[in-house]
Structure 1
Amino acid sequence: MNYLPHIVSYLSANEDITEIYLVPKAFIMERKGQKLIKVSDALLTPEDIRDTLVALRSHTTFALGPLGKEGMFSFGLQNVGRFRVKYITQRGSYVVHILKTPYNIPSLDKLCPNKNDLSRLEEIIRIYSSGFFVFQGRNHLLVNTFIYSFLQKVCDSYGKVIFILESPLTFLLRHGQSLVVQREVGVDVDTFEEGLKDAFYMNPNILFVGYREIIQPKELEYMLMLAENTLLILNLPAVDKAFIELSSSLLRAWVHVESGMEGTVCLSFKGTEPQAQENR
């Protein structure tokens, strides 16, 4: 059975960022903070999940091929939001994670009510035209949401060229005083490496590279070259020693993002040395 209509109906009633899980022999579940909320009363079969996954993927704009063992794609539904879908296999059956984000990016002032912290962030944008601006946090989705909210504020307040490279795109920024170019890896460009190479020709003032667990050596090489003339904003879960050693002279700020009260975030500025992690 295809449960997409039921999922869309559920998500349409919720304007917040929402995570949905489809796992065989379990109910459709929403993860909300530290809790799981049941979305349906029927236990999912592998066939249910496959039918729902096929229906989800039918909304994408690129050519469809075999599902394969794993994959990721994104799309938007009017009046609902943007969907990012990641799927893997478990003993031959699919497990699906659906992340829905609203079209409207949360307001920076509401997301971070601490005006002193916001002033420090804007000061970095005003002072620096090159280097690395690293964000970290235990919840990479929260960090990504905050970065987009911050970038929308930059778009509205400054005349810059902002280049975004992400897989897949979480939000769509609006042009303001700034111009925005957003490329989705896997759709607009094949790899992060190719997208970083293309960024040289765009000559952006700000380059945001979305959440990356591991930075490949060639990607890091391009980032270091770009950071000589561009301010690179990165969402990194951890930074290995190689990154610290190579980027230390170009590291402008490191900000830790954590959940605050009632949907807000708390920021802590950690100087210029991110938390190191041994190379894996």
Structure 2
Amino acid sequence: MDSKIFVQILEIAFNKKVSDVHFEVDNPPFFRGKGQIIRSKLPNLTSADTEFIATTIMEHNNRRWEQEQKEFDTSFSLPTGARFRVSIFRQRGHFGIIMRVIPANIGSFDELRLPGVLGEIVKAPNGLILVTGPTGNGKSTTLASMLRHINENFSYNCITIEDPIEFLFSSQKSCIIQREVGIDTDSFASALKASLRMDPDIIMVGEMRDTETIESCLMAAETGHLVLSTLHTQGAVSTINRIVGHFPPDAQEIVRHRLADILVATISIRLIKNKTGEFILPALEIMRSTTTIQSCIREGRLDEIEGHMENGRSQYQMQTLDQHLIQLHEQDQITMEEAKRLSHSTDLERKLMFTS
């Protein structure tokens, strides 16, 4: 492996619009396209090959791999402008590298097939908006699209704290400052504290990873800022449980009350194949904080939230995941098999018959 071949592989990945490139010892490079892992016809990689790739990426970021390091997250870019989010790790004593392709353009809601209600949600003057879902299901892309909407329509000072920086923004109506953990700041929590002295209107935190970062996000939302962030959770109820569960038992009731006061919305996203298998579509659960849902959060009646989302579809444009899956199926965009695979319930077909 040399620099020329490495760059060629990345250019192919970027131009073919695959989502990820995998480099692992004793295997050829793998690509993920349309949700599927594709084994390339290139030669198997050696330990020297993956070490070369890891070293090239680290040097690109003016970093060295420390002997005690086990993993490292960063970004990588080509002179052509192609950008990648990178995870470098050790496996069986060798380097492994997975590179996520960052699209050249930040998609609009329409281009990404996201509902227009997201534009209404980001109009909130302050509070906490969370985008959730499993790894690789479009959380960062959705968050970037929401920030694009803000940038095009509102005059705010927006500060992003990311690890690493993914989408690059140019200030339009809004002023956007992007800070990268490990390069521009030491941690999410320290950057959040510093951001409160930077005249922010909106703070975007790439991920709420630990209790300190969660607490800092809650405080920023409580002090009159709009905070956007992500969590690796499946839906609104698991998101609330995850946040509350980060705190000691004797503090959890207070945290529920705080969360009820500041939570604007949760947007939980999963990606699903369309009927032909040619495209990937987003399936979303959307919960907006109504007075009723605030009461459910304060009093710990989380099992009632899904029912309120179902009932609030027409008035508040909320929806459960099942409601959106049924809608996509009725529009002949997805198969019932795909819908059932993604649904959390066991009676999706019965629900579909009931709505028909």
Please say whether Structure 1 and Structure 2 have the same fold, judged by a TM-score greater than 0.5.
yes
Q: Distance in 2 between matches of 1:27 and 1:156?
A: 42
Amino acid at match of 2:13: L
Q: Distance in 2 between matches of 1:6 and 1:125?
A: 39
Residue 268 (structure 1) aligned to one of 267, 277, 285:
285
Q: Distance in 2 between matches of 1:30 and 1:103?
A: 18
Q: How does 1:53-64 map to 2 (within 5 A)?
A: 53-60=54-61, 62-64=62-64
Q: Give the corresponding residue for 1:192.
A: 188
State whether structure 2 residue 122 is matched by structure 1 residue 125.
yes
Secondary structure at the residue paired with 1:71? strand
CA separation of 1:259/1:209 partners in 2, compared to 1, >3 Å: closer, same or farther?
same
Comparing 4-13 with 143-152, greater Cα deviation is found at: 4-13
Q: Give the corresponding residue for 1:51.
A: 52
Amino acid at match of 1:112: R
Secondary structure at the residue paired with 1:21? strand
Amino acid at match of 2:6: L
State whether structure 2 residue 165 is matched by structure 1 residue 164.
no
CA separation of 1:263/1:7 partners in 2, compared to 1, >3 Å: closer, same or farther?
same
Q: Give the corresponding residue for 2:71.
A: 70
Q: Give the corresponding residue for 2:13.
A: 11
Q: Give the corresponding residue for 2:231.
A: 236
Q: Distance in 2 between matches of 1:161 and 1:264?
A: 32
Q: Give the corresponding residue for 2:107.
A: 106
Q: Distance in 2 between matches of 1:33 and 1:91?
A: 29
State whether structure 2 residue 43 is matched by structure 1 residue 42.
yes
CA separation of 1:223/1:9 partners in 2, compared to 1, >3 Å: closer, same or farther?
closer
1:13-64 per-residue CA deviation (whole Å, 9 max, x = no partner) reads: 32x352011111111001224421123421111111101221233322x344
Deviation at 1:253, TM superposition (A): 0.9
Deviation at 1:80, TM superposition (A): 4.4
CA separation of 1:17/1:207 partners in 2, compared to 1, >3 Å: closer, same or farther?
farther
Q: Could you say which structure has the higher helix fraction? A: 2
Q: Distance in 2 between matches of 1:31 and 1:99?
A: 9
Secondary structure at the residue paired with 1:152? helix
Higher relative contact order (CA 8 A, sep 6+): 1
Residue pair 2:18, 2:31 contacting (<8 A) in 1 also:
no
Structure 2: give runs of 5+ residues left out of the alignment: 234-238, 247-254, 304-356
CA separation of 1:264/1:110 partners in 2, compared to 1, >3 Å: closer, same or farther?
farther
Deviation at 1:139, TM superposition (A): 4.2
Q: Give the corresponding residue for 1:221.
A: 215
Larger Rg: 2
Residue pair 2:129, 2:266 contacting (<8 A) in 1 also:
yes
Which runs of at least 4 in structure 1 moved beyond 6 Å after TM superposition?
A: 273-276
CA separation of 1:13/1:27 partners in 2, compared to 1, >3 Å: closer, same or farther?
same
Q: Give the corresponding residue for 1:134.
A: 130
Q: What is the percentage of aligned positions where both structures have the same residue?
A: 24
Q: Give the corresponding residue for 2:172.
A: 176
Q: Distance in 1 between matches of 2:245 and 2:135?
A: 23
Q: How does 1:235-254 map to 2 (within 5 A)?
A: 235-238=230-233, 239=239, 240=242, 241-242=244-245, 245=256, 246-254=258-266
Amino acid at match of 1:226: A
Q: TM-score, normalised by structure 1?
A: 0.86
Report the aligned-residue RMSD. 2.4
Residue pair 2:18, 2:33 contacting (<8 A) in 1 also:
no
1:167-198 per-residue CA deviation (whole Å, 9 max, x = no partner) reads: 00110122110110111111111111111111
Q: How does 1:146-161 map to 2 (within 5 A)?
A: 146-161=142-157
